[in-house]
């Protein structure tokens, strides 16, 4: 199978799957290494295919869902509560972005949809002894948040405001 054929197969798999598909699963299906699949995903993205990485694998981006950018601020020990408030109000945390003084805008894809996703993310953060991007900027960061209705966005903003996380100055 050529690289082009392999990428066509990845595209087809992602187009028909209702769940995220891991790089390991794709690699096994295609008989290549996980790293080859990661490279193929990068090439597909470079050619315009909107692929997002979730904690559970790759999927095609839902371009219909409206999004808003919310500016937040909190200490590292408050991150799980901030994220839980968003998803419990029906939001999807698409990403986190900070403005770094040296590197400029740094963005991390999150795609957190459930409390389970948040627990998985926080567990991986702890296991890897990692740091939140917001630690680089005294807790100030933005989230792109997906929502279904304007009322849902209002509820997300209200719960963040109630928790003291919405940065409104």
pLDDT by 10-residue block (mean), the chain, 169 residues: 93 91 95 95 93 89 87 96 98 96 93 95 95 94 95 97 93
Angle between helix 3-16 and 34-46 (nearest 10) = 80
Q: Which pLDDT belongs to residue 12? A: 94
pLDDT at 63: 72
Q: Give the pLDDT of residue 19.
A: 87
Nearest C-alpha neighbor of 69 from the set 142, 125, 9, 147? 142
Residue 65's pLDDT is what? 83
Q: Using alpha carbons, select from 10, 142, 154 the residue that is nearest to residue 72.
A: 142
> What per-residue confidence (pLDDT) applies to 29?
94
pLDDT at 11: 93
Are the C-beta atoms of residues 118 and 67 closer than 8 Å to each other?
Answer: no
How far apart (Å, rounded) are the C-alpha atoms in residues 30 and 8? Answer: 11
Question: What pLDDT, on the 0 to 100 scale, is given for residue 1?
Answer: 86
Cβ atoms of 123 and 71 within 8 Å: the answer is no
What pTM was estimated for this model as a whole? 0.79
How much is the pLDDT for 22? 94
């Amino acid at each position: 199978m050529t690289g082009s054929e392999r990428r066509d197969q990845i595209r087809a798999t992602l187009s028909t799957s209702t769940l995220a598909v891991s790089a390991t699963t794709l690699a096994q299906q295609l008989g290549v290494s996980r790293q080859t699949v990661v490279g193929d995903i990068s090439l597909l993205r470079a050619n315009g295919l909107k692929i997002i990485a979730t904690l559970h694998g790759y999927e095609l981006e839902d371009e219909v869902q409206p999004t808003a950018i919310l500016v937040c601020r909190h200490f590292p020990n408050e991150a799980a509560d901030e994220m839980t408030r968003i998803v419990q109000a029906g939001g999807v945390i698409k990403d986190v972005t900070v403005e770094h003084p040296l590197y400029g805008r740094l963005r991390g894809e999150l795609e957190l949809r459930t409390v389970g996703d948040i627990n998985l993310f926080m567990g991986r953060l702890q296991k890897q002894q990692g740091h939140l991007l917001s630690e680089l900027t005294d807790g100030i960061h933005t989230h792109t948040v997906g929502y279904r209705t304007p009322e849902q966005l209002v509820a997300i903003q209200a719960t963040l405001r109630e928790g003291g996380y919405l940065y409104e100055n």
